[in-house]
Structure 1
Amino acid sequence: MAAPKISVLLPMYNVEDYVEHCLDSLLAQSCTDFEIIAVDDCSPDRSGEVAARVLAQQSRIPWKLVRNIENKGLAETRKIAALEARGDYVLCVDSDDCVHPDLVRTVLREAQQHDADIVNFAAERIYPDGTALPEIESGDGVITGVEAVQKVLELKLSAFCWNKLVRREIFVAAEHPCGLIFEDICVSVQTLANAKVVRLIPDRLYSYMVRESGISRRFNPQVVDLFSIMDRVEKSTASLPIADHKRLFFRLKYAWAYRAIAFQTAITAPTYYLASPILRSVSEKLRVKHLLGMFADRHLKLSIVMTMLKIHPWIFYCVVRRFNRR
């Protein structure tokens, strides 16, 4: 059997209630030039069994189910899937999300027309109440990989893995940080940096399902992984010919990452006792020059609130909780 052009990488962990819906959206694709590589990451529920049943009931799309003998985490599981893949390109899909029926047809057409290494597309977020918001834009054009990385640093291009079609050899060659969350940022920056041609398309082809148990909606001490992720991103982008790299990376690191760690912790932690160690870790890393840098970069409100964090994490916690009641 000839190898398909695209391999869909589908890691599974605790998605028994969602994976069938995800697979249904993949199996309903208008183009069949793809395969599904599903990996059961030692899930404690029946995710793997559900996937095997759904996939075995059809013969339209080739598939393979791999089972990790121990939990590897999302990043490493995606790489395991990529190493099992046969396609020229890989497409990451989270197994609790769903995709547009023309996803494969559209990204494959764009990749072939532009000889693109990466095709980046738009997505929507669907909230627990059913509200769908087109919050993840992509733009429209053909740019270089370095230009795409610059857009990530400028916070103009999202660094998710699941809204990008990527040449398999580029994806496999990237570092997939084991055991860390927010790993998409690290992987996306590296794959974009190694791409010659990046095609940006405005088509909204992916539905990201916002779950109450998701990373951004529950207290998770692992949010501090962003410190390590930022170090890796800085290392992988420092040598790229990006104008004003230092200022742009400062914005990504402090105005986005440090803010995300601090605000997410304050909003989601049920008590200050739980939030305190994380908020203190951010406070200790903040310097006066960083606060002044935020102010100079026209982030006045953020610089004021982060100054409160520097003065004392308890003040920051109270202010953020007061104005972000859930």
Structure 2
Amino acid sequence: MRYLWDHYHQHRGSAGRLTRLMMTLLFGRLRHWDMTSAARIDIVVANPQFIKKRIAKAWRRDAVVVHPPVDTSLFTPAAVVGDEYLWVGQMTPYKRADLAVEAFNALQLPLLMVGDGEMAAELRRRAGPTIRIILRMRFDELRHAYATSKALIFTPEEDFGIVPVEMMASGRPVLAYARGGIRDSLVERKTGLFFERQTIESLIDGVRAMEAWLPEFDPADAVAQAEQFALEHFDAGILAALEHDAPQGLDRGDQRGVRGRRQRAAAARGPPMRLGVQTHFSQNSACRMGRSSDRRRRRVVARSASLGFGRTASGQICGRG
């Protein structure tokens, strides 16, 4: 449902003729259905503040922010750091790997790019002699790349962004596009820098600023910041969200009216088929929670999209990108 509200025009522009026609015919109805469904949810949990604002705009709901979990214990700083910058991700259009290729071609600085996708072949053709592209890496090799690279180049606008936190947990800084969930994780001039526009020129300026700032960078600051997103903080955040007894209102929310509608709907459905709480991580954007009347029995079922984490309260990792 993300594309009902976000990046609609970009998604429609890249779709085929039949898909564009169906989007025009159906998206209004689907948005209405999505808002109606959202009104029946007891608790909405957003991954970052960025998504909390999107939820308020689209659904007119407040949301609790619980950041995705990152197993920071898997990453450690290295004693020796190289001169190569690092880019990691799927090579799809919205990730904007093309910006990194063109900027580092112009700068003639070394860049390692790790990832595969529909743009990989084209980017390989465009990459100059200072750029290495590796489609896949074993996890131990990726951890080594994190810890020994000069800095991470993070070009997309993401709902959160797990890779920058993994980089910081490895004791290295991040140069990131200044929109999206990265605003929750990166502390400017402490764990990295931002570049303001998704343009080659802005990224080039950002890399030059990073080169000048790197002598001031302290790896311990990055590691400490990454620890704020460790697994135990996710568990604590989800459990705290489940303790909210009152439904969160709509803008003009009359909570008694909301409760009344839910009670009537529950009576019409009969006894619930499933006790507990279900959380759904959709495209790293939001968790939807519906709570049964039996508060003594709760379970959390987490699912993640292809990018990001879902983690159950019992500690099982459900997905990782």
Q: Which has the higher contact order (CA 8 A, sep 6+)?
A: 2
TM-score by length of 2: 0.30
**Larger strand proportion of the pair:** 1
- Structure ID, larger Rg: 2
TM-score by length of 1: 0.30
